[in-house]
Chains A and B, each alone.
Chain A
Amino acid sequence: MKDLSLHILDIVQNSVAAEAKVIQITLEIDDRNDYIGLTVNDNGKGMDGDFLKRVADPFTTTRTTRRVGLGIPLLKQNAEQTGGFLRIESEPGMGTKLSVRFVKSHIDCVPMGDVAGTIALLICSYPSIEFSFHVRVNSAEFSVSTTDLNDALGGIPLNDSAVFPMVKEYIASNLDELQITNLG
């Protein structure tokens, strides 16, 4: 996976596949403490303890189309390569929280990529899921949620193709302000 925005898109697909109705994504970029942190919190069907122990192994998947699952192992590898880590907490029937940290100054730390595009794509593709995205760059912050956008659009469906470019532009201009695009 060549950048963090693609990892976010990928990891969130796991929450969607787990039938989550609420998905919270948090991205933190902290220069003083030299890390990039990402958490994805969902209320999907969760995993039991035994499955959880094996989940970072590529041969752990509930897919039926192939025998390997790569999303989590790839992210874990990319994080550990920088001296960071990946952690998953989960409870069957309750949901899952995945947290990952990268050491920001490490030469192998992945670039940010198009975070605005990823978030807009997720929010607009899955209008029945309640997304919230929170980003913090040092002391500056920005949040956006499915509810905020629905309120602003007053009845125009988020998954109409005319809406996506507007939502992407809204998120992108706010992330630009936080100078997220210049990182990595």
Chain B
Amino acid sequence: MTKVKSLADLKKMKESLQAKIDLREKGDAAENLIQIKVAMATCGIASGAKNVMEFLLEELEKRGINAVITQTGCMGYCYAEPTIEVKLPNADPVVFGYVDTKKADEIIEKYIKNGELVDGIIPVNYESIDNK
């Protein structure tokens, strides 16, 4: 792949990007979408949330998994940062603590791909983490 150095280079990527998106959307209906939130308050950022988010963005794309990854505020689990919330289709959201890239890899391979539980789940009694 050639390096993207200018907006013109980016423009040239348009078609291949669109092709990728079309392919993915054909394979996966919107209701099958996986939603991931990365807690990105000071506590999360200081303990590595940025790396985890970049890892998730890059790896899910590489591994062909259709997911929407967003940032959210503090979930209130500062002691367990970085934390992420994963919502699989037709399942309740699950919060994982102490997520580094190794843990994130395990979450993708076991929980996201196969629905197998992995260590590090924070028990919660709430709906979702749109608070701050």
Which residues from chain A sit less than 8 Å from chain B, CB to CB?
A: 1-2, 5-6, 9-10, 13, 16-17, 63-66, 69-71, 74, 114, 117-118, 121, 124-126, 148-149, 151-154, 156, 159-170, 173-174
Contact = CB atoms under 8 A, between A and B. Distances in A.
Contact of A70 (B8, B43, B54, B58): B43
B46 A174 contact: no
Counting contact residues on chain B (CB < 8 A from A), the size range is 35 or more
A165 B58 CA distance: 7
Contacts of A65: 73-76, 131-132
A161 B74 contact: no
Interface of B: 3-11, 13-14, 17-18, 20-21, 40-43, 45-46, 50, 53-54, 57-58, 60-61, 67-71, 73-76, 78, 131-132
18 contacts: A5-B50, A6-B45, A9-B45, A13-B40, A13-B45, A13-B73, A17-B73, A63-B73, A65-B75, A69-B42, A114-B50, A125-B69, A125-B70, A149-B10, A152-B8, A154-B14, A156-B18, A163-B17
A17 B4 contact: no
A18 to B, nearest CB: 11
Contact of A170 (B5, B60, B61, B68): B5
Nearest to B61: A161
Contact of A160 (B6, B21, B78): B21
Contacts of B41: 10, 13, 63, 71
Contacts of B10: 149, 152-153, 166-167, 170
Describe A's contact surface by its main secondary structure: helix
Contacts, number: 119
B4 A64 contact: no
Contacts of B7: 148-149, 151-152, 170
A17 B17 CA distance: 31
Nearest to B65: A161
A169 B58 contact: no
A4 to B, nearest CB: 12
